[in-house]
Each structure stands twice: as C-alpha cells, then as structure tokens.
Structure 1
Amino acid sequence: MECSEVVSLPKEERLKALSYPDVETGEIPEYLTCELDPHPYGEHVAQLLYMEKPNGSVLWLAWGGGIGMELRCLPVCERASPTEENSCWLPVRHRGGHSWEHYE
C-alpha cells in the first residue's frame, strides 16, 4: 500500500524539472502521488525523471513536512528483494518499506 497524498505540479516546476541538467526527456504528469508507504507526517516524494548523470539517479519532487516543493536529484535505493528478482526504486534512505514489497 502506498501513501495517498497527491499534489498538483505547477507548470513552472514542471518546466524547471525538464530543464534540469542531465535529465532524460519524458512526460511529467500534472498530478503526482507519493510513492512511499502511508505516513501521517513528514515529506512526500514522487519520481519525476531519470538522470543521465550521476548513474542510477532520479529527479524526485519532495513536498510537505514544512518544505513546500523541492526538486532533488537522488540515487535509488536498489535494495534487492528476497527473491532477487526486483530491486527498490525509491530514493536512497527512504522511509517505510521497499517498492518491491508492494509487488512480491
């Protein structure tokens, strides 16, 4: 189960993300849902775009927890699942469970 917090990404933030250095081009939805486990407080995060450099990094949008909206380039967790068929794609040092726990 994922957090149900949804945010509308303003056009200015979308343009800023698309012009971020080393970002791979792609579509960014207008509405984003937090990808972490449900949590009653603190920051929320949603994946925006993959980065060409540094390798294994993703451009994330963080919001809530008193920070407003903030773009962050962070590596992914990559913690392997017990079956080693999947690895976590959430940001490194994320709160809650790993992404593969929702699917395995």
Structure 2
Amino acid sequence: MTDDLRAGILAQLPPDTFFFDWLVCDFDQHANGDHHAYVDEVDETEGTPPRAVWIAWTQEAEGTEEGAPQARVSVLEICPSQSPSGETACWLPNDHRTGHSWERYE
C-alpha cells in the first residue's frame, strides 16, 4: 500500500480505527469494479439494519500517478442473506455483486 493511499484512508476513518497496511478484497475474484475490504462493524441502533465500515478502492489506486489515490471509506448495510442451514449469515455489503460469504464455507 502506498503512503498516499494509506494517508487518504486514515483521513476518512474515525480516530483510533485500526486497519491492516494491506488490503484484500472481500468479494470473490472479479476483474471490474471497486474492491471492498471490511474494517469494523458499526454499533447497531434498534430498528436499523446491521452496518459495517468498508474501504473501497479501484485496482488503479495502488499505483496511480495522476492525482490522489482512489479510495473511500463508507458505512454500508450488511447483506441480510442467510445460508440454507441458517447457521451462517453473509457479512458482505448489501447488494454486493459476487457470491455470498457463506457460500465459501458451507
């Protein structure tokens, strides 16, 4: 991760939020579109869907020479999908375009 990308991400996160110095996309392998990495869950408010903090970036962000790195921090609702067994829930952002996270483990 470049220093510029790290600084851009840290500037968008709440103080004292920890994240690794490397980003791995939590979506299944894909060639197009933004990549997303889970950072932390958000305290739930009664009556609201579960949410989490995510870092999104484009593949070009690592080596972008023109302008600032293209990364953003967002709070997104978590996918409500449950596995067929009901033992596991998807923890990816709602409306994600790849398979559910529970499909990797069941």
2:65 corresponds in structure 1 to none
Give the 4+ runs in structure 1 shifted more than 3 A: none
List alignment gaps of at least 5 residues for structure 2: 62-69
Q: Secondary structure at the match of 1:88?
A: coil
Note if 1:44 corresponds to 2:1: no
TM-score (norm 1): 0.76
1:62 corresponds in structure 2 to 56
Identical-residue share of aligned pairs (%): 31
**What pairs with 1:14-93 in structure 2 (closer than 5 Å)?**
14-19=10-15, 27-53=18-44, 55=48, 56-64=50-58, 68-93=70-95
Shift of 1:15: 4.8
Deviates further, 45-54 or 59-68:
59-68
Instruction: Report the count of equivalent residues.
Output: 93
Greater strand share, 1 or 2?
Answer: 1
Shift of 1:30: 1.0
Structure with larger Rg: 2
Partners of 1:37 and 1:95 within 8 A in 2: no
Instruction: Give RMSD over aligned pairs.
Output: 2.4
Q: Secondary structure at the match of 1:71?
A: strand
Deviates further, 74-83 or 62-71:
62-71
Matched residue type, 1:90: L
List alignment gaps of at least 5 residues for structure 1: 1-6, 20-24
